[in-house]
Structure 1
């Protein structure tokens, strides 16, 4: 099934978190599904991410030469990132036992890369040329290890996606207020009215 890569799919705050969130409802075995089940969606995701993550990427386009070929590397980085940083949210710190697998996965994404990153104004290298999606994904994932970033990681209570809380007072609750916040409010409203109706019926 073709995915509509809308702005809501990019509410994680960084490319690595948006990628981790391509597995929907991870904690619910009955309803969970993987938006990268079809490797072709990796290319479509990367194309959309080039626009939605332009600020993070310094304007550099993401390139996918063969979705099928890079899928194992991408999925490895995705799963290691989710495991490490989902744990960091619950514990308030990164667990060193999960670091080797995470670093190995990121190394796989960078193995064939021949680019330079981190220059002033060019966080992901020269914006005039594309960067391989798996390499950019690894760089984005590694950037999450910053102490100030870990402290602002959150899990959305509605959809369980990972996101960075960049609000001034670090009080953001939802990954996307317009979607998850409104859904939760609507659910609470429905249950309040249902309970009120039941009380009237039973009176």
Structure 2
């Protein structure tokens, strides 16, 4: 099934978390599904990310010309990123074995690229040419290790997505107030009305 890569799919705050969130409803064995189950979606996601993550990428477009070939690299970075930083949110620390697997996956994502990356002013390199998606994903994921990043990581209590809380007082609850926040509020309102109605019917 073709995915509509709308702005809501890019609420993680950076490319690496948006990619981690392509597994929907993680932790729910009965409802979870993978938007990259069709590898062709990796190329479509990279195209959309070039637009929605243009500021992070310094305007550099992403390329995934052979998504089936790069899928193992992309999925490896995605899964190790999710495992490492989901654990970091829950335990406020990085697990050494998860960190080692994460670094290996990022190294593999970078190994296929012959580009120059990670200059202080241009972490994703020269914006005049496309960058392989797996290399950009690795750079984005590694940026989560920067000082202060862990303190801003959150897990949305509605959809279970990872996101960076950039609010001034670090009090953001939802990955997207317009979607998850409103859904949770609507659910609470429905339960209150139902409970009140049950009391009236007694």
Cα deviation, residue 121, structure 1: 3.5
Query: 2:177 corresponds to which residue?
Result: 177
CA distance in 1, matches of 2:58, 2:164: 19
Matched, 1:117 2:136: no
Aligned counterparts of 1:122 and 1:29: Cα–Cα separation in 2:
40
Aligned residues: 202
Cα drift, residue 113 of structure 1? 0.8
The TM-score with structure 2 as length reference comes to: 0.98
Distance (Å, rounded) in 1 between the aligned partners of 2:74 and 2:187: 35
Query: For 1:128-183, what per-residue CA distance to the aligned partner results, in whole angstroms no more than 9, with x for missing partners?
Result: 00000000000101110113011100000000000000000000000000000000
Structure 1 CA distance for aligned equivalents of residues 147 and 53 of structure 2 = 22
* Stretch moving more, 66-75 or 90-99: 90-99
Q: Is the 8 A contact 2:154 2:163 kept in 1?
A: yes
Hey, what does 1:93 align to over in structure 2?
A: 93
Give structure 2 stretches of 5+ with no counterpart: none
User: Tell me, what secondary structure is at the counterpart of 1:85?
Assistant: helix
TM-score, normalisation: structure 1: 0.98
Unmatched segments (≥5 aa) in structure 1: none
1:120 Cα deviation after fit: 4.6
Distance 2:153 2:112 in 1: 30
- Is 1:82 the counterpart of 2:94? The answer is no
Post-superposition CA distance 1:23-47 (Å, at most 9, x none): 0011100000000000000000000
- Asked if 1 retains the 8 angstrom alpha-carbon contact of 2:123 and 2:139, the reply is no
Contact 1:20 / 1:81 at 8 angstroms: preserved in 2?
yes
Q: Aligned pair 1:14/2:47, yes or no?
A: no
Task: After superposition, give the CA deviation of every residue in 1:89-130 in whole Å (9 maximum; x if it has no partner).
Answer: 001121112111101111110111111123353220000000
Moved over 4 A (4+): none
RMSD: 0.8
1:67 aligns with 2:67: yes
- 1:58–1:121 contact (8 Å) kept in structure 2: no
